[in-house]
Structure 1
């Protein structure tokens, strides 16, 4: 099938199947998978025009709601964090989209930019694996949460997703400068101003690349802000 806007010819079943496979795994970490779908479109399908970024953004809109619904149902949607991320990211995405159209229309330059973004994310993952050795002794919040999930008996319907079976996120304080919340018996404090500034920069990069920025901001939330991934995945998504 020929797609005139993209200027490519491909089996119409291939893109949705690839998108499904990618989002199936990446949604577990609080990202839609658009950051992996874009290289597939550019390098495999040959879709290199600026419209590939907007196509990728549309994928985000379609892929994200089901994951968000699941986090809301489980009580793990940290709404104050979500709004801070949105307020910081949205202006950056708009600026990034303009930069993509005006300054990076050349496929060669855009591929270089996309490669640098992927290189950065890969380096972050390798750094976390290589230089953050597993600590012995008291298990972390995430480890205890994961262990509890394994021990829970099988349940059906709403019972599975209720707070009786999965620890909910409880907001204790939400001000313009900080967010305080409880998750699985521990209290976490987040600098809202610093996070908003970070999301603004991430939004600009995401707007150029064609992603919402969750795949970039999620590692920062975990590494720099010390937040458990199980609590921030919904907001990052």
Structure 2
């Protein structure tokens, strides 16, 4: 099958299959998988124009509802956290779009930018997985003793701080701190073509010390909302040459179909996988992709 905008020719089942495999594992940590799908499109399929970012956003729009719905059904959606993430990332995406078309139109420079972002995310995840106490009590075996179903309860919201209980523990985070972080993540996500979940989720876990089981749903919800804005901006706002950069709709929809199923089943499987295992798998994959991009930029 030929895809007109990207110029890709491949079997019709390849995009949804690849997206399913990626999103199944990444969604357990609140990540849609777009951060890995973009390098795949650039390196394997040769799709390097600004439209690759909007296609990635389209994948998020179609795919993330699968994970979001599952987390909502299981009562593990932290709505206050999701609102904080969305409020910060939305304006950041607009600024990120401007940076993408002005400073990173060249594929080589853009790949280096991608590599540095992934390097930072991967190192944060790896450090936390290695140095922290094993899963801080949130292993599947530890959770077995908690009354089912596992849900977020006793939520307390304020302008300065938000608190909630999960698995018998009370956790909290700073609202201003989360907003500032989300704003910065939105800028990077707007450049990269991701909703920001790949960046915000590790920070929520490592810096704010929130359990990944409660971060995942909120991160995916933030990714969904900001990705809708991303598709709109790339499709309607002209580039420096007066042209827009709309997504490759057939390709993005096929990726999204696989992502929807992958994220749904990934969210369902999450509670049975140790938190440390999720972090290690994600960190190793991220660092591998990052090292490849940075090395290719240094030694063209």
Q: So what's the TM-score if we normalise by structure 1? A: 0.87
1:140-189 C-alpha deviation (Å, 9 max, x unpaired): 3413xx2255579xxxxxxxxxxx62221014311122101111221112
**What residue in structure 2 maps to residue 166 of structure 1?**
149
**What residue in structure 1 maps to residue 22 of structure 2?**
22
For structure 2, the 5+ residue unaligned runs are 221-300
- Return the offset for 1:7: 2.3
SS of 1:140's equivalent in the other structure is: helix
Q: What is the 5 A alignment of 1:26-65?
A: 26-65=26-65
- Return the offset for 1:123: 1.6
* 2-structure distance, mates of 1:16, 1:49: 21
1:202–1:217: 8 Å Cα contact kept in structure 2? yes
2:90–2:183: 8 Å Cα contact kept in structure 1? yes
2:143–2:167: 8 Å Cα contact kept in structure 1? no
* 1-structure distance, mates of 2:92, 2:205: 21
2:232 aligned with 1:235: no
* 2-structure distance, mates of 1:87, 1:215: 17
Pair 1:129–1:228, CA change in 2 (3 A): closer
2:79 aligned with 1:79: yes
Q: What is the 5 A alignment of 1:178-189?
A: 178-189=161-172
1:78–1:171: 8 Å Cα contact kept in structure 2? no
The higher relative CO (CA closer than 8 Å, separation ≥ 6) is in 2
* 1-structure distance, mates of 2:169, 2:133: 22
2:57–2:193: 8 Å Cα contact kept in structure 1? yes
* 2-structure distance, mates of 1:151, 1:209: 41
**What residue in structure 1 maps to residue 141 of structure 2?**
147
**What residue in structure 2 maps to residue 196 of structure 1?**
179
- Return the offset for 1:92: 0.5
SS of 1:49's equivalent in the other structure is: coil
* Correspondent of 1:221 among 204, 207, 211: 204
- Return the offset for 1:42: 0.4
SS of 2:11's equivalent in the other structure is: coil
- Return the offset for 1:28: 1.1
1:25-58 C-alpha deviation (Å, 9 max, x unpaired): 1111111100110010000000000000010011
2:151–2:166: 8 Å Cα contact kept in structure 1? yes
1:104-159 C-alpha deviation (Å, 9 max, x unpaired): 1111111111111122222223222333354xxxx83413xx2255579xxxxxxx
Could you say which structure has the higher helix fraction? 2
**What residue in structure 2 maps to residue 175 of structure 1?**
158
2:92 aligned with 1:92: yes
1:34–1:59: 8 Å Cα contact kept in structure 2? yes
- Return the offset for 1:71: 0.7
